[in-house]
Structure 1
Amino acid sequence: MPRTAEAERNDRALLKAAREVLAVDGVHASVASIAARAGVGIGSLYRRYRSKDELFQHLVEIALDQWTEIAEQALAKDDPWDGIVHYVTSAVGMGSLAPLAGKVTITEEMAAKNARSDKAFEALVANAHEAGVLREDVTLVDVLLIIEQLTKSPLIEQLQQQGREDLLEAARNAQQRVTAIALAGLRPSDQPMPGEPPGMNLFTERWSSADSGRS
C-alpha cells in the first residue's frame, strides 16, 4: 500500500525531532517528547508503531536512506574532493541518531540499508584517495567519527534550550566554520596521524549490543 503524503511528512518531522531530542536527552529521550516536538499526536503515533523500538527502527531506516542519498550525490560530483565536502557537510547538517546505538534491535531491512550506504561511502572515500585529494592515512572510519563529533554542538543545544533564537544563526555559522576547519585537516599532509587507524568495528560494534544482550 503506497504511503500517503501526510505519512511521509510525519516521518520527516519525526526524524528531525528525534535527532534534536536525542542530541539533548540521549538514550533517555521519550517518544512523547519526540512526538510533541514533531507536532504529531502520541495516540496516532502508537496506533502506527507498536513500540518505542519499532518507531526508532523506522527512523533509523529513513536516516540510512538519507545517508545513501548524500553518498550517491557526492559520488556524482566531478571533483572527488567536492564529493567529500558534500558528504561531510550534509551529514553534519542532518544530525545524528548515534545515541540509539545498542538500544535498537537491528532488523534485516536496517542491515540491508546500512550495507548499501556503506558501499556508496566506501566508493566515495576510495575515489578521493585515488585522486590524491584525501590524505592517504585517513580511513572512512576517521571521516565517520569526525562527522559524529561535529554533529553534536553543545553550543546550539544550550541556546535552543534557553530559547535564544537571536544567537542560533551565529551558532550554526560557527558550526559550519568548525566543519570547514576539520575538512581542511583531511587534505594530504606530510604530518603523520597518531596511533593506529580505527577499524570499522569501533564504529559499528556498539549497535549490536541490543541484539547480543550486552549493556
Structure 2
Amino acid sequence: MTPPARRAPRQAEAERNDRALLRAAKEVLAVDGAHASVAAIAARAKVGIGSLYRRYRTKEDLFRHLLSVTLDQYLEAAEAGLAIEDPWEGLAHYVHAVLDFGPGSLAPIAGTIALSPEIEEKNRKGDEAVAALVDRAHAAGVLRADASLIDVELLIEQLGKSPLLDQLGAQGRTELLGAAANARARLTAIALDGLRAQGNPPLPGEAPGYELFSARWERPEDD
C-alpha cells in the first residue's frame, strides 16, 4: 500500500495560518462586531498582516470565506443530529455542536458582505436540515409545539455570545475560563429544558418569521 503523500511544510503552515485566521476572525467579531479590523484579526491569530492579505484580498473576502466554512459546519452538525435516532437528542446535539464551534455568531457581519450563490445554496441546505430536526422533534412530541425553527436558531445565536467568556479572555484570566465555560453549559441546559414539551406556559406573541432571521443579511445595494 502506497503511504499517503506528506504535505509540503509551506502548505501545512498555510493551512495552520488559515485556521488561526478564521478562529481569530470569529473571536474579534464577537467583541468588536462588523468594525473588527484586519490588523486586530491578524494580531489575534499571530499571523503577519502580509500573510493575511496574500490569502484574502479584502476583509470582505475573509468574512465571506468564514461564513462559507461556518455554514458547512452547521450543515454537518444538523446532519449528525438527524443521524441520531432519538429526536430530542438529535436536536440537542445540533444546538451543542453549533455552540461548540464558537465563539459567538456571525450576525455582526449581516448586511455588510455580498452573498455568493454558493453561500446561498449552503444556507438553503442548512435550513432544510435544521427544519427536518425541528419537524421530527415536533412529530415525536418532544419539542414544545409553539417553538419554531427560527426560535431555535435565534436561541443558539443568543447563547453563542458569552460576555463573561469574552471579558475574561480579554483580561487574560485564563484560570477562570473553565468555570465560565461550565456556567454557559448550565445556561444552555436550562434553555434547552425550556424547549421541551412539558406543560410550559405558552410563549408570548407570534412565532418569528424567517424574514426576521434573514432580512438583515440583505444589503440596500443588492435591491
What is the TM-score of this pair, normalised by structure 2? 0.89
Mapped to 1, the partners of 2:203 and 2:28 lie a distance apart of 34
Q: Aligned residue for 1:106?
A: 115
Mapped to 2, the partners of 1:154 and 1:97 lie a distance apart of 15
Mapped to 2, the partners of 1:12 and 1:211 lie a distance apart of 31
Q: Aligned residue for 1:82?
A: 89
Which region of structure 1 is more displaced relative to structure 2, 10-19 or 154-163?
10-19
Give the alignment of 1:197-212 within 5 angstroms.
197-209=207-219, 211-212=221-222
* Cα root mean square deviation, aligned: 1.6
Q: Deviations over 1:73-109 (max 9, x none)?
A: 1110010111111111111222221111111111111
Q: Aligned residue for 1:52?
A: 59
Q: What's the offset of the Cα at 1:39? A: 2.5
2:204 to 194, 201, 204: 194
Q: What's the offset of the Cα at 1:6? A: 4.1
What is the TM-score of this pair, normalised by structure 1? 0.93
Mapped to 2, the partners of 1:12 and 1:164 lie a distance apart of 24
Mapped to 2, the partners of 1:72 and 1:51 lie a distance apart of 32
* Conservation of the 8 A alpha-carbon contact between 1:31 and 1:52: yes
Mark the CA change 1:172 to 1:47 in structure 2 (over 3 Å): closer, same or farther: same
Q: Helix, strand or coil: the match of 1:46?
A: helix
Q: Helix, strand or coil: the match of 1:188?
A: coil
1:138 to 132, 147, 161: 147
* Conservation of the 8 A alpha-carbon contact between 1:102 and 1:206: yes
Mapped to 2, the partners of 1:145 and 1:88 lie a distance apart of 11
Q: Aligned residue for 2:133?
A: 124
Give the alignment of 1:160-171 within 5 angstroms.
160-171=169-180
Q: Aligned residue for 1:22?
A: 29
Please tell me whether residue 185 in structure 1 is matched to residue 194 in structure 2.
yes
Q: Percent identity?
A: 60
Mapped to 1, the partners of 2:17 and 2:71 lie a distance apart of 17
Q: Aligned residue for 1:150?
A: 159
Q: Deviations over 1:7-39 (max 9, x none)?
A: 443333222211111111111101121122122
Please tell me whether residue 39 in structure 1 is matched to residue 49 in structure 2.
no
Mapped to 2, the partners of 1:11 and 1:104 lie a distance apart of 20
Give the structure, 1 or 2, with the largest relative contact order (CA under 8 Å, sep 6 or more).
1
Q: Helix, strand or coil: the match of 2:111?
A: coil
Q: Deviations over 1:106-165 (max 9, x none)?
A: 111111111111111111111111111111110010001100101111111111111111
Which region of structure 1 is more displaced relative to structure 2, 105-114 or 30-39?
30-39
Size of the aligned set, in residue pairs, is 211
Q: Helix, strand or coil: the match of 2:143?
A: coil
